[in-house]
Amino acid sequence: MMLLQAPRFTQQSMLDPAGTKAGSIHDFWHFLIITSTVVTAIVFLTLFVALARRRRTADPEAPGEQRSLTRWVGASVAATLVIIVTFLFLDFRLGRALAIPTQRTPLRVNVIGHQWWWEFQYPDSATPGNWISTANELHIPVGRPVILRMSAQDVIHSFWVPNLAGKKDLIPGHETETWIEADSAGIYRGQCAEFCGLQHAKMAMLVIAEPERQFEQWALAARGQALAPADSVARAGQQVFLTGGCSVCHAIGGTMAGGTVGPNLTHFGSRLTIAAASLPNTRGNLGGWIVDPQRVKPGSYMPPNALEPDQLQALLAYLEGLK
C-alpha cells in the first residue's frame, strides 16, 4: 500500500487545523474566545461586586444615583455595540475570504451521500466515462484546493472534516458545493454532521492528503480495473463474490459485478477502514462485518451473509487482494 512518507492520523478536531479554511477559522476562534472571556469576566466581576458591596446611598432612586447608573448602563451598551460591530467586521471579512478557493487549479470531486456511507467520484474530463468511484476514503493532494460538488440520494447529510474545513450539507434535490484544502500530509477523520437516520453515528470517512506525486500515483492505480485474483483461494473467493449476494449490490471494475446499491469495491483492499470508517480493515473485522453487519451497524442496509467457513476465508482472501 503506497501511502505517505509520514502518515499523521489526526484525531478529528477543529482545534488542530491542517487545512487552509480550518486554520483561518481557528485564528478567528482565538479572537472569539479571548474577547468572550474578557467580557464575561468583567460582567461577572461587576455582578459579584454588586452583590458584595455595602450600599452607600440611603435612597437608591435618588436622581444622582439614577443618573450615574444610567451612564454606566449606557456605556456598557455602547461597549457591547462596539464589540459586536468589530466581531461582524472580522467575521464578514473571514467569510468572504473563505468563499473562494486559493489560486491553484482545483481538483474536482463529486460527493454523494447515502444512508450511511459516502460515495466519492473523481470525474476525469480527459477520459469521459473513466471515473474513479470509491467510497468512504477521499484521497486529495496536499496544497491544492479540492472543490466538492455534493448531493444526496436519500436524506440530508453533512460533509465535515474538522481538521480541514467547516461543514456543508448534502441535500436531496440540491447540488451544494464547498472546497477543502490540506496544508500538510496526513489522514484526517470526518463524520456526517446532519442526523440521517439509524446509523448517523457511524457514517464517518477518512480524508487522505498526500503530496501531489503520490496522489497522482494513487489516482492512476485507482482508475484501473481490479487486480485479478492472485491464487486459487482468491479465485474461489471471487466466485463466492460473483455468485452470491455480493455482486447484486457491489461493483468491482473489470468483473461482472456491477451493483450500484453499495460502495464500489474495486480497490477495497487498499482501504484503511470498513463500514464507513467504523472498523479498521483487518481480516477479522471484515469477516465479522460480512457475516453479521447488523451487529456492527444495526439498521444498515447490508444483510447478513451466511457463508461456510471456507467460503468466507476465500472471499476474505479475494477482497484483501483488491489493492
Near other proteins in 76-115, by CB under 8 A: 76-77, 80-81, 84, 87-88, 91-92, 94-96, 98-99, 115
Piece of the chain touching other proteins by CB under 8 A; list 24-32, 206-214, 216-224, 310-318:
24-32
State residue 122 phi and psi, 5-degree precision: -105, 95
Tell which one of 110, 176, 285, 311 touches other proteins (CB under 8 A). Answer: 176
Q: Rounded CA gap, 265 and 268, in Å?
A: 5
- Judged by CB under 8 A, does residue 231 bind other proteins? no
Tell which one of 197, 211, 287, 288 touches other proteins (CB under 8 A). Answer: 197
Strands 157-159 and 132-135: unpaired
Q: Are 296 and 313 in contact (CB under 8 A)?
A: no
**Among candidates 102, 101, 80, 98, which has minimal Cα distance to 90?**
98
State residue 189 phi and psi, 5-degree precision: -95, 140
- Judged by CB under 8 A, does residue 191 bind other proteins? yes
Tell which one of 14, 222, 233, 291 touches other proteins (CB under 8 A). Answer: 14
Q: Rounded CA gap, 75 and 110, in Å?
A: 52
Piece of the chain touching other proteins by CB under 8 A; list 133-141, 192-200, 212-220, 223-231:
192-200
Which is it for the CA torsion 220, 151, 154, 137, positive or negative?
positive
Q: How many CA atoms lie within 13 A of 95 on its CB side?
A: 6
Which residue in the block uniquely carries the three cell numbers 472571556?
A: 37
Q: Rounded CA gap, 253 and 42, in Å?
A: 64
Instruction: Sketch the per residue contact string, 56 through 75, with other proteins: x for CB under 8 A, - otherwise.
Output: -x--xx---xx--xx-xx--
Instruction: Sketch the per residue contact string, 120 through 159, with other proteins: x for CB under 8 A, - otherwise.
Output: ----------------------------------xxx-x-
The nearer residue to other proteins, 96 or 213, going by C-beta atoms, is 96
Residues 239-258 that bind other proteins (CB under 8 A): 243-245, 248-249
The nearer residue to other proteins, 189 or 267, going by C-beta atoms, is 189
- Judged by CB under 8 A, does residue 220 bind other proteins? no
Tell which one of 2, 34, 43, 220 touches other proteins (CB under 8 A). Answer: 43
- Judged by CB under 8 A, does residue 192 bind other proteins? yes
Min separation Cβ 154 and other proteins, Å: 6
Query: Site size for other proteins, by CB under 8 A?
Result: 96
Tell which one of 8, 13, 184, 291 touches other proteins (CB under 8 A). Answer: 13
Which residues are within 8 A (CB) of 318 and not within 5 positions of it... i.e. 6 or more apart? Answer: 229, 233, 234, 235, 236, 237, 238, 240, 241
Q: Rounded CA gap, 241 and 259, in Å?
A: 12
Tell which one of 3, 8, 12, 23 touches other proteins (CB under 8 A). Answer: 12
Q: Exposed (0-12), middle (13-18) or buried (19+): which is 110, by Cβ within 10 Å?
A: middle
- Judged by CB under 8 A, does residue 50 bind other proteins? yes
- Judged by CB under 8 A, does residue 266 bind other proteins? no
Instruction: Supply the DSSP string of 250-280, one letter for each residue.
Output: -B-TTSS-B--SS---TTGGG-SEETTTTEE
Peptide bond connecting 118 to the previous residue in cis, omega within 30 degrees of 0: no
Min separation Cβ 92 and other proteins, Å: 6
Tell which one of 3, 23, 291, 301 touches other proteins (CB under 8 A). Answer: 301
Min separation Cβ 249 and other proteins, Å: 7
Tell which one of 24, 110, 184, 255 touches other proteins (CB under 8 A). Answer: 24
Which residue in the block uniquely carries the three cell numbers 485564528?
A: 27
